């Protein structure tokens, strides 16, 4: 969006975003929240909830695309905050496919986006899922260490993929897998490309499904790629672009790394929004509890020690939301992240979620430690926001490099 047409940053949500907020909140309160404890215990994808979400158009390509394109940039963070307020595990089951869709939208051609993204969501009668598979057992924070190989079979115009991906949300149960692989290992991250693996492609299978600490309604698993053959057209961005990029790497020319950085920076605020939703859920619960629970003849919230924690929770949540909204607005309106503002929002919001949920457990005392109350679940859920899409330390590295201009290790 050009400077001239970009809406000015405004803390007052426009009418469209307010409507989305109300709609998402209603679904979170009426459908997600009541189902949360059951799916956390079952540790399975909550298909009935996905079906309800698809029925009202919340689990749909239209919803994610419209909110992604919403001019103020606040459609996604506002909707995500509400869904994750309902329950982070179920909300990740609803929003997990979007990560793969964003990857296709940001690295693929328009034709590829039009072909694959509808197949990632399906329809209300026939729900589909997508998975984004980058991480490997030895390549988590260090994405340049990816060992999965993609080799071009020129005679057949096919790519052959081999390797093991891990911790993939929807891995193995997805209809479409988006896989990052190395095509020229000598160039590290610059020698990588991203591929779409279409539904029912032979050679792709689910490995171990992980039993997790939190967000247990979201399926996380290994994905095994054994002689997986995909058509040349499944290379995102196309072969010509890849060859140009490899030629630049061979000549030792600078890569257009900033573009990739921009994409990651653009998706990070949405993880921040997830964390804000989780934190707000725990804060609201603890606040209410602190006015009801009495010890020593008065509500526990009447003690300065408890009120001060609540004050800090409320302040941190608002600060986190402001950082998330700023970064989301900047990303949507093509503003440069001169100080890694996307990373700042993800770092601060995820650390806020861990702070708030841990203190919510403490405010609820023994009750907070039991599964009779939701705060222990939110506490377990919150930790993930400090790990995926770049752990907190990695966000600090990015911010540190950006503000100092030094290649900090």
Question: Catalytic amino acids?
Answer: 389
Nearer to ligand FAD, 46 or 368 (CB): 46
Q: Is 391 in the site for ligand FAD (CB under 6 A)?
A: yes
Q: Which stretch, 245-253, 307-315, 364-372, 389-397, contacts ligand FAD (CB under 6 A)?
A: 389-397
Site string for ligand FAD, 200-239 (x = CB under 6 A): ------------x--x----x-------------------
Taking the C-alpha atoms of residue 336 and residue 355, their distance in angstroms, rounded to an integer, is: 30
388: contact with ligand FAD by CB under 6 A? yes
Does 36 engage in binding with ligand FAD (CB under 6 A)? no
Least gap, CB of 163 to ligand FAD (angstroms): 12
What is the distance between the alpha carbons of residues 180 and 370, in angstroms, rounded to a whole number?
Answer: 40
Quick check: 39 binds ligand FAD (CB under 6 A)?
Answer: no
- Closest residue (Cβ) to ligand FAD? 140
Indicate whether 260 belongs to the interface with ligand FAD (CB under 6 A).
Answer: no
Rounded to a whole number of angstroms, the minimum distance from the CB of residue 388 to ligand FAD is 4
Task: Supply the DSSP string of 255-272, one letter for each residue.
Answer: P-HHHHHHHHHHHHHHHH
Phi-psi region of 182 (alpha: psi -120 to 50; beta: other; left: phi over 0): beta
Q: What share of the chain is helix, strand, coil (3-state, %, to 5)?
A: 60, 15, 25
CA–CA dist 96, 6 (Å, integer): 29
Rounded to a whole number of angstroms, the minimum distance from the CB of residue 234 to ligand FAD is 18
3-state SS class at 185: helix
Shortest approach of ligand FAD to residue 212 CB, angstroms?
6
Residue 271 binds ligand FAD, judged by CB under 6 A: no
Distance separating alpha carbons of residues 166 and 224, to the nearest angstrom: 9
How does DSSP classify residue 136? Answer: B
Distances (CA, A) of 85 to 68, 134, 277, 283, 374: 20, 27, 4, 10, 11
Nearer to ligand FAD, 76 or 397 (CB): 397
Cα torsion for 155, 236, 174, 147, to the nearest 10°? Answer: 70
Tokens of 154: 């020129």
CA-based nearest residue to 197, from 216, 219, 225, 220: 225
Interface residue with ligand FAD, options 132, 285, 325, 378 (CB under 6 A): 132
Number of amino acids touching ligand FAD (CB under 6 A):
19
Nearer to ligand FAD, 267 or 333 (CB): 267
The answer to whether residues 210 and 120 touch, using CB atoms and an 8 Å cutoff, is no
Tell the smallest beta-carbon distance from residue 390 to ligand FAD (Å). 6
Among 60, 106, 169, 333, binds ligand FAD (CB under 6 A): 169
Cβ distance to ligand FAD smaller for residue 333 or 354: 354
Out of 60, 103, 107, 135, the only residue in the binding site for ligand FAD (CB under 6 A) is 135
What are the CA-CA distances from residue 336 to residues 86, 340, 397 (Å)? 33, 9, 18
Taking Cα atoms as reference points, which of 170, 210, 209 lies closest to residue 45?
170
Q: Which of 268, 271, 282, 274 is nearest to 312 (CA)?
A: 282
- Options 17-25, 45-53, 146-154, 393-401: segment touching ligand FAD (CB under 6 A): 393-401
Please, what's the b/e burial string for 173-202 (b: 16 or more CB within 10 A of its CB; e: otherwise)?
Answer: ebbbbbbbbbbbeebebbbbbbbbbbeebe
Cβ proximity to ligand FAD: between 6 and 391 the closer is 391
Residue 387 within binding range of ligand FAD, rule CB under 6 A? yes
Residue 205 beta carbon to ligand FAD: minimum distance, rounded to whole angstroms = 17
Q: Kindly state the tokens that stand for 383.
A: 């930790």
Least Cβ distance, residue 52 to ligand FAD (angstroms): 23
Using CB under 6 A, which of the segments 18-26, 32-40, 48-56, 165-173 binds ligand FAD? 165-173
Structure tokens given for 345: 């929002």
- Please pick, from the candidates 74, 76, 146, 168, the single residue that binds ligand FAD as defined by CB under 6 A: 168
- The correct pick among 97, 134, 182, 192 for binding ligand FAD (CB under 6 A) is 134
* 262/401 with CB nearer ligand FAD: 401
Q: Which residues here bind ligand FAD, judged by CB under 6 A?
A: 132-135, 140-141, 167-169, 212, 215, 220, 384, 387-388, 391, 393-394, 397
């Amino acid at each position: 969006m050009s400077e001239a047409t970009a809406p000015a940053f405004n803390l007052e949500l426009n009418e469209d975003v307010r409507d989305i907020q109300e709609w998402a909140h209603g679904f979170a309160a009426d459908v997600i929240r009541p189902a949360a404890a059951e799916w956390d215990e079952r540790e399975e994808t909550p298909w009935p909830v996905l079906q309800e979400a698809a029925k009202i158009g919340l689990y749909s390509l239209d919803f994610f695309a419209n909110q992604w394109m919403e001019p103020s940039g606040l459609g996604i963070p506002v909707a995500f905050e509400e869904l994750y307020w309902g329950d982070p595990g179920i909300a990740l089951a609803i929003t997990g496919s979007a990560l793969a869709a964003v990857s296709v939208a940001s690295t693929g051609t328009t034709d590829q986006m039009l072909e694959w993204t509808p197949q990632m969501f399906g329809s209300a009668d026939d729900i589909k899922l997508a998975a984004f598979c980058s991480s490997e057992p030895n390549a988590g924070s260090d994405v340049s260490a990816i060992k999965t190989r993609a080799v071009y079979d020129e005679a057949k115009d096919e790519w052959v993929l081999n390797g093991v991906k891990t911790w993939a949300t929807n891995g193995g149960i997805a209809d479409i897998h988006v896989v990052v692989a190395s095509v020229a290992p000598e160039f590290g991250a610059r020698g990588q490309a991203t591929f779409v693996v279409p539904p029912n492609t032979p050679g792709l299978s689910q490995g171990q499904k992980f039993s997790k600490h939190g967000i247990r309604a979201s399926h996380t698993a290994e994905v095994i790629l054994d002689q997986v053959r995909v058509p040349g057209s499944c290379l995102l961005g196309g072969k010509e672009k890849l060859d140009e990029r490899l030629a630049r790497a061979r000549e030792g020319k600078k890569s257009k790394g900033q573009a990739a950085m921009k994409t990651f920076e653009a998706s990070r605020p949405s993880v921040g929004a997830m964390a804000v939703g989780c934190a707000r859920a725990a804060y609201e619960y603890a606040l209410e509890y602190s006015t009801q629970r009495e010890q020593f003849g008065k509500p526990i919230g009447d003690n300065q020690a408890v009120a001060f924690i609540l004050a800090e929770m409320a302040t941190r949540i608002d600060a986190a939301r402001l950082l998330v909204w700023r970064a989301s607005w900047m990303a949507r309106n093509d503003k440069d992240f001169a100080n890694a503002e996307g990373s700042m929002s993800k770092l601060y919001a995820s650390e806020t979620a861990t702070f708030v949920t841990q203190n919510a457990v403490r405010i609820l005392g023994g009750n907070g430690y039991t599964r009779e109350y939701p705060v222990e679940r939110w506490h377990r859920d919150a930790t993930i926001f400090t790990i995926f899409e770049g752990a907190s330390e990695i966000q600090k590295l990015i911010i540190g490099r950006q503000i100092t201009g030094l290649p900090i290790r």
